Amino acid sequence: MKELFPGVYTYENKLWTRNLVPGVSVYGEKLVKYGGTEYREWDPFRSKLAGAIKKQLKYFPFKKGSIVLYLGASTGTTISHLSDIITDGEIYGVELSKRMIMELAKLAEQRENIIPILADARVPEEYKDVGTVDILYQDVAQPDQIDIFLKNAKLFKPKWGMLALKTQSIDISKEPEEILESSLQPLREKFDILQTIKLDPYDKLHYFLVLKDKEGKTI
């Protein structure tokens, strides 16, 4: 196992995280033992963050004690791997679907660093008690996904932002590159855009953006 980022490993050209709950597979992923430690395979076709890593992601702010606000938590595929990495921190997973949040709640029963929140990401005041976070991660397929991100960033003041941009959700009539550029403009006012990754072939018509709060600028 070779460590690519803190808590993220590569072995046989696949990505892995150290399993926080040994013996338990979250979404049917492969488990392997290496050096007496169990690892979970991280599927880039199931997780946009894993896809970004496979597409040469350069920045990975997640570490053991990170506080993360994750918008669009779904059933927790990516969150489960972040849970493996952020062993001493907290991941607040916001999801609007009651069915999805029930699955995330089951996951949180075994992983205490996951806190499910049933709420609308358009109304961050509903979960304002989360407080300041280190990283704002968003994977929300909505036309107003940029506004949602900026609204949450203003309230929770993250140092880092990671945004899975779904261009088809914004405007199906325009080219993805055109939508990307128009989306970057409002983000540039608050963040430095460190990296823009096209996620093909793992997710078509998707981009993964890495953002960092501009030094000394209030958001």
211's tokens: 């953002």
pLDDT over threshold 60, residue 171: no
Higher pLDDT, 84 or 142: 84
Ordered strands of the 31-34 beta sheet: 2-5, 8-11, 14-18, 37-42, 31-34
Per-residue confidence (pLDDT) for residue 218, from 0 to 100: 43
How many residues are recorded in the chain?
219
All domains of the chain in start order, with CATH: 44-213 (3.40.50.150)
Taking residues 104-114, what's their average pLDDT?
Answer: 96
Residues linked to residue 40 through DSSP beta bridges, in sequence order: 17, 31
Q: Alpha-carbon distance 73 to 100, whole Å?
A: 8
